[in-house]
A and B are shown apart, each in its own frame.
Chain A
Amino acid sequence: MPKCNISEAHAIDYVFGELEPSKMDDYKVHLMSCNKCIRMVNSYKRVLHLVDDAEGVYAHNLSMPRNLKTRLYRRVAAERAVEPAIHSNFFSQFSHLLSLVNKQKAAVFSLFIVAVIGVTFLLTDPFQYVPTYKENGTDSAHVKIQEYRHQEIQRNMEDALRNQHLRNSDKWDRVSQLNRVKDQAHGTDWANVAHQHLKSVHSEL
């Protein structure tokens, strides 16, 4: 008798009736002469017989749950009671808003423009006081002060020199006047001018 090469999988498919019809017939013929395959098939049939007994008894002797349908519909109703609330609060309001937009296009457009302007005002604050000129103003004031200071120094210096040359006034008065000018002109070129004149006055003393 030739050695059988048919796999166990073939036997399992046969037991489950999953072999193709042509293969099923061939295998039936083969089983008549192959002890190895007969043993495999019988073994798997016994396995199924055991499991069928255990599982069959287990499932069929237990009663079905009661009121399954009632409980299902109660749950469905409970969910529906929640869903409409959500729909009315959101989807219904949204659809109502859309229909309103369609009916009152001009009013909605105006409202939209006003809203955009309002948002722009809120975000940018166009009337906000922006002291952009302050810095320049401060600078120009500072420059003006310096300008006035130089003019005053210059005036005082001219007075001092006029006294020196024209009036021929008291020299100590001129020294005093030039010292005031020198102090006043501290940090400027006028201070050097005053210093030079003071030196010349001191040389005359």
Chain B
Amino acid sequence: MDKLIDDEILVKQFQSGSQRAFDELMKRYERKIFGYLLRSVRNYEDAEELTLEVFFKAYRALSSWEPKAKFSTWLYTIASNLSIDFHRSKNRQPVYVLEDEEVLETKLVAKDLSSNPEKQVEDMERGRIIREAVDELSSKQKEVFMLTRYEGLPIREVAETLGMAEGTVKIHLHRAMKKLQTLLRPLMENNEI
């Protein structure tokens, strides 16, 4: 299927009965949505289940969907709401799954045998500290930061996705950056970058 076709046209095709149109939409966004949810919930299995839930909800609602906003914005809205619900219902701090870290370590070592394993362990430890700092942000600060930085959404679309005013989004983003700056200052001062 033509990759240049707009999401909204694919949605119309799906609404007309084309299953392949939904396949294409899923292919375009499954990695993004999964990555977004993985950063949000920090657990592979939970992110996987939530990703499935996002596309299931989208599949059911898409037949009556009207393009008031971009399809991607709508999809991120579903993901964001599910993520918020997840954190509320579980009422727990993000969990780092050792298994994932181990897989990551194995992959890194296997990829580059000439590299320094100790350096890689240090990198992993640094990565863990940084992710913990990100998880220290409030849920809204984190959502705004993630959508802006890693999903590449402009402030206007982040505002639409999270149902906030653009000014509010900017305030959350500024606070998130200041908090990260404070939390990561020891790493920066130790010249570890």
* Chain A interface (Cβ < 8 Å from any Cβ of B): 8-9, 12-13, 15-16, 18, 43-44, 46-55, 57-62, 64-65, 68-69, 71-72, 75-76, 79
Interface residues of B in 142-169 (CB under 8 A from A): 148-150, 154-155
> Is B51 a contact partner of A68 (Cβ separation < 8 A)?
yes
> Is A50 a contact partner of B181 (Cβ separation < 8 A)?
no
Which residue from B44, B170, B193 sits with its C-beta under 8 Å from A18? B170
19 contacts between A and B (CB under 8 A): A12-B177, A16-B149, A16-B173, A18-B155, A18-B170, A44-B177, A51-B180, A53-B127, A55-B39, A61-B107, A62-B44, A65-B48, A65-B51, A65-B52, A68-B52, A71-B52, A72-B56, A75-B56, A79-B60
Note all chain B residues with C-beta closer than 8 A to A9.
Answer: 170, 174
CA distance A68 to B30 in the complex (A): 9
Note all chain A residues with C-beta closer than 8 A to B48.
Answer: 65, 68
> Is A69 a contact partner of B131 (Cβ separation < 8 A)?
no
> Is A49 a contact partner of B52 (Cβ separation < 8 A)?
no
> Is A18 a contact partner of B154 (Cβ separation < 8 A)?
yes
CA distance A48 to B133 in the complex (A): 12
> Is B193 a contact partner of A49 (Cβ separation < 8 A)?
yes
The reply on B108 being an interface residue by CB < 8 A is yes
Q: What's the count of A-B pairs with C-beta under 8 Å?
A: 107
> Is B127 a contact partner of A57 (Cβ separation < 8 A)?
yes
> Is A52 a contact partner of B108 (Cβ separation < 8 A)?
no
**How many positions in chain B have a CB within 8 Å of any CB in the partner chain?**
45
Closest CB pairs A-B (n = 5): A54-B130, A54-B127, A65-B48, A59-B35, A9-B174
> Is B52 a contact partner of A75 (Cβ separation < 8 A)?
yes
Which residue from A52, A53, A58 sits with its C-beta under 8 Å from B149? A52
CA distance A18 to B60 in the complex (A): 35
> Is B55 a contact partner of A68 (Cβ separation < 8 A)?
yes
The reply on B100 being an interface residue by CB < 8 A is yes
> Is A59 a contact partner of B39 (Cβ separation < 8 A)?
yes
The reply on B187 being an interface residue by CB < 8 A is yes
> Is B181 a contact partner of A76 (Cβ separation < 8 A)?
no
Note all chain A residues with C-beta closer than 8 A to B188.
Answer: 43, 46-47, 50
Which residue from B108, B148, B177 sits with its C-beta under 8 Å from A47? B177
Tell me the nearest residue of chain A to B179, going by C-beta: A47
